[in-house]
Structure 1
Amino acid sequence: MDEQSTRFETNAGVVAQIRQLPVGVVLASGPFNYPLNECYTTFIPALITGNTVIVRIPRNGAAPHFPTLELFKKHFPSGSISILSGSGREIMTPLMEDGRIDFLAFIGRSSSANALVKYHPAVHRLHTILQMDAKDCAIVLKDSDVEFAAAQCVTGAFSFNGQRCTALKMIWVHESIAPQFVQKVCEIVDAFKVGMPWEEGVQITPVCESGKPAELKDLLEDAIKHGAHILNAQGGRFSKSLASPTVIGPISQHAKLWTHEQFGPIMPITSFSDLSEPLDWLAQNHFGLQSAVFGYDPQELATVVDTMAFQVGRVNVNAPDKRGPDTLPFGGKKDSGMGVMNAKEAVREFTLETVIATTVNDPRNVKALQGLEGVSRVVKGTAGIKSE
């Protein structure tokens, strides 16, 4: 990108250089579930493109940042990066209200993002990258490999306690294979080892939000009230900050789990007879981060993939939702995101295109532009310019 931005091109008698220059002051905030990686995803591209960065690190997950503080102090100019920790509302609200934030890079709830944006006195000039809520689904077609699909969906739903934006949060299974699918899922889930993160072989650990178990319990009770059943023997158990992995279904459209992102170890399953059912659900879903489809029939796959592609940022075929590799764009649609994060696109997101131009019909213009290169921090690559 830098090589392209330093090249002058002549067109219709005008020679011009398009430079990618910093946006200004970036306020970046990452989530607790990936406190180091996701925070750095929001602000490293901003920093290397010359922006001044204010980083708010989450209260749950601040410790991983301590080793890097001295490195930033040693290798970056004073004032180029400031790191704050604490309540997002207490720290970020006054910064947004001040009006000097040019760019908000935020990973978290859409309700929080909406509130933060509204605090800015000049929303029309605020640039944003937002990665927010998700309600990713998997559609398991009747010709899928049931054991494979079940194992992959379990991984997609329960890894990291299901506290990932890319976790599978609704599973649609064709009714002809639903009994076998549910049986296999429950066998895998009930074999999970539950314990502390540092214990060997542990797959489910306590959640770090004090109010999360009560929220998850409420979602289960609400689904049961609307006709669902806990399907695995070890499901629906709670102890302090621990929530056991739970498989539940069928899910009524009147239940909270139909639309609400559980963000925890709950795997809702519902069956379908006609493909229009899950696809209609997908279209009505307010979120659009990723989704997955399991099956092998080209015609049915094409129907699902083509529909999903207009609703979500990434379609996974015979694989659970995930992020990476970082050479691929990462972003969502609808209420799940604005902007793209990855190694290449994010760098461009944090810059603005600026044009330096003159006419080439007067040799003095060309000479003046070439003379600028020796003293300007912006003008580069003028050697090849010729007057007409």
Structure 2
Amino acid sequence: MISTYPVVSGKYLINGEWKEITETVDVINPANTSEVVGQVAICSEEVVNETIEVAVKAYETWSRSDVKDRATRMNTAAEELAKIIEENVTVFVRENGKTLVEAKKDLLRCVEVMKGCATEVLNWWQPEVLPGNQNVQVRRRARGVTAIITPWNSPMILTFKRVIPAILAGNTVVVKPATNCPLTIMTCLKVVAEHFPPGVINIVSGSGKAIGDTLCSDSRVRTVAFVGSTETGKEIMKKSAGNLQKVYMELGGNDPAIILEDANMDEAAIKRLRMGILRAAGQVCSAVKRVYVHESRYDEVVKKLTKEFGRVVVGDGIQPDVTMGPLNNKAQFDYVNELIKRTAQSGGKVVTTGLQLNPETWDQGYYMLPSIITGVDQQSEVVRVEQFGPVIPILPFSDVDEAVRLANDSEFGLRASVWTVNEELAIEMADRLEAGAVFHNNHTVFSELALDFPGLKESGVSRETRHCGLEFFADSYGFAD
């Protein structure tokens, strides 16, 4: 079945023009794999090179534009984008698999990013006078062409949190969205691009490896912002090393949640834990991937979380009663299913629960009921990997030192959470946990979008940003007299 295509279907954006291309690939609805939501253009290396050249030329004038003009343009674009949010929520659900609530929240947060960055840039861009006998100023300038490569799991917010600060800082961008879920992000960036000079925002789509290799090996690209798997991130770093490009990476995670003996795991807390695990069907790099529970509370927490998982309604995210949609694509669906099978075959106890909204159409999409896994240890595959699906292993521990050791026993270090009534102890543990951010009695995201804490170890390459990411996309230099 072919649905009504979004206007950007099968096109790419270069120098303010949306161009069609012969080679395209269908974008499939993961809730109904017979439905084609639209098409994504498969750009050639020649097209990517042409797009980079356009971005280089646009940078010459855009980088010298007045910061107040940039902020004004952004605020106007935000007002226009807000007007089309409602009509694009269903398209986003159909190409991504999120629920209506999750999808709308993501779109609204994009508008919030635009407004927040537009306000922040006016203060941040001002020269900073350093203390001392000499008059020394810290000033900021744009870096150049920025390549932004974003994933399929949360494409809206993860793209906007890179594109918006990049262009506000005076850069031009070449955006490469994921082929699994490109349509809504392209539709929304179309609105934004119309408020900026041609060539400031450009979009190419197609093979991740082919386009990524071109963008990351081209000396005209000065900054690369990538969100995706750690394995791909490592390849991008190799390609970028030849030109010493500045690299920002938000990579994989295997986030631990540690539930201490004194934790208040009432109904509200269990619900927060469930949301931390199953948001977007578990396809979130910062979702809970491992739960460690004090041995005295282990049976209780397993029982309560199993009951809570049993309330999850799985189905097409378009349906208002659904609380968890399908997985986004066949590769991920197959991977998670095989992981569960291998875990069960190796002795793990798998309890699958939840409710099928429409059992009669269950096999038409990439649907999975959530699973809780017990009877595994620290070396089990399901504990070591980033599952990226609705499955969670739960392990016991005997004391705080063991819990910290187990939590840190991973190549990842994105997020973590500590569940206890003792805030002082939570802070002490946070100081010892190898994670870019630690939450207390919750496992969520920062409500203030200006905050962005990078992961440690193989979960990311960047630094703390408190200015909507603006600092990353600019160079600071000293001026003295």
TM-score by length of 2: 0.68
- State the SS of the aligned residue for 1:247: strand
State yes or no: 1:78 paired with 2:198: yes
CA distance in 2, matches of 1:132, 1:10: 38
Structure 1 residues 289 and 69: alpha-carbon distance in aligned structure 2, compared to 1, 3 A threshold: closer
- In the alignment, what sits opposite 1:170? 290
- In the alignment, what sits opposite 1:319? 442
Contact 1:25/1:101 (8 A) holds in 2 = yes
State yes or no: 1:206 paired with 2:326: yes
CA distance in 2, matches of 1:71, 1:298: 45
- Equivalent residue in structure 2 for 1:42, among 159, 162, 169: 162
Structure 1 residues 250 and 28: alpha-carbon distance in aligned structure 2, compared to 1, 3 A threshold: same
Structure 1 residues 229 and 43: alpha-carbon distance in aligned structure 2, compared to 1, 3 A threshold: same
Tell me the CA shift for residue 150 of structure 1.
2.6
- In the alignment, what sits opposite 1:182? 302
Read off the aligned partner of 1:188 and give its amino acid letter: E
Tell me the CA shift for residue 250 of structure 1.
2.8
- In the alignment, what sits opposite 2:17? none
Contact 2:217/2:242 (8 A) holds in 1 = no
State yes or no: 1:291 paired with 2:416: yes
Contact 1:109/1:132 (8 A) holds in 2 = yes
The correspondence of residues 244-283 of structure 1 with structure 2, limited to 5 A, is 244-283=369-408
- In the alignment, what sits opposite 1:337? 460
More helix by share: 2
Q: Deviations over 1:332-362 (max 9, x none)?
A: 111111224766051111111123334xxxx
- Equivalent residue in structure 1 for 2:471, among 348, 357, 382: 348
Q: Could you say which structure has the larger radius of gyration?
A: 1
- State the SS of the aligned residue for 2:314: coil
State yes or no: 1:131 paired with 2:245: no
State yes or no: 1:51 paired with 2:171: yes
- Equivalent residue in structure 1 for 2:242, among 88, 97, 122: 122
- In the alignment, what sits opposite 2:263? 144
Contact 1:228/1:252 (8 A) holds in 2 = no
- In the alignment, what sits opposite 1:24? 144
Contact 2:378/2:406 (8 A) holds in 1 = no
- In the alignment, what sits opposite 1:89? 209
CA distance in 1, matches of 2:407, 2:295: 18
- Equivalent residue in structure 2 for 1:99, among 219, 223, 226: 219
Structure 1 residues 332 and 69: alpha-carbon distance in aligned structure 2, compared to 1, 3 A threshold: closer
Question: Where in structure 2 are there 5+ consecutive unaligned residues?
Answer: 1-120
Read off the aligned partner of 2:451 and give its amino acid letter: L
Structure 1 residues 101 and 153: alpha-carbon distance in aligned structure 2, compared to 1, 3 A threshold: same
CA distance in 2, matches of 1:10, 1:146: 50
- In the alignment, what sits opposite 1:63? 183
CA distance in 1, matches of 2:436, 2:298: 27
Q: Deviations over 1:242-289 (max 9, x none)?
A: 121111113223321121000110011111122222211222211111
CA distance in 2, matches of 1:78, 1:277: 56
CA distance in 1, matches of 2:393, 2:476: 45
CA distance in 2, matches of 1:121, 1:231: 46
Tell me the CA shift for residue 20 of structure 1.
0.3
Read off the aligned partner of 2:430 and give its amino acid letter: V
Structure 1 residues 180 and 165: alpha-carbon distance in aligned structure 2, compared to 1, 3 A threshold: same
Tell me the CA shift for residue 33 of structure 1.
1.5
Read off the aligned partner of 2:263 and give its amino acid letter: S
- State the SS of the aligned residue for 2:341: helix
Structure 1 residues 66 and 23: alpha-carbon distance in aligned structure 2, compared to 1, 3 A threshold: closer
CA distance in 2, matches of 1:110, 1:83: 23
Structure 1 residues 242 and 2: alpha-carbon distance in aligned structure 2, compared to 1, 3 A threshold: closer
Contact 1:31/1:107 (8 A) holds in 2 = yes
In percent, how many aligned pairs have the same letter? 25
Contact 1:227/1:252 (8 A) holds in 2 = no
- State the SS of the aligned residue for 1:206: coil
Give the superposed CA RMSD: 2.5
CA distance in 2, matches of 1:74, 1:302: 46
Read off the aligned partner of 1:128 and give its amino acid letter: V
- In the alignment, what sits opposite 2:6? none
Contact 2:165/2:468 (8 A) holds in 1 = no
Tell me the CA shift for residue 166 of structure 1.
1.6
Structure 1 residues 244 and 50: alpha-carbon distance in aligned structure 2, compared to 1, 3 A threshold: same
- In the alignment, what sits opposite 1:383? none
CA distance in 1, matches of 2:141, 2:452: 21
CA distance in 1, matches of 2:474, 2:408: 33
Q: Deviations over 1:199-237 (max 9, x none)?
A: 1121122111111222112222232233310134459x9
- In the alignment, what sits opposite 1:376? none
How many correspondences in the alignment? 353
CA distance in 2, matches of 1:70, 1:253: 46
Tell me the CA shift for residue 135 of structure 1.
0.6
CA distance in 2, matches of 1:61, 1:193: 23
Structure 1 residues 117 and 150: alpha-carbon distance in aligned structure 2, compared to 1, 3 A threshold: same
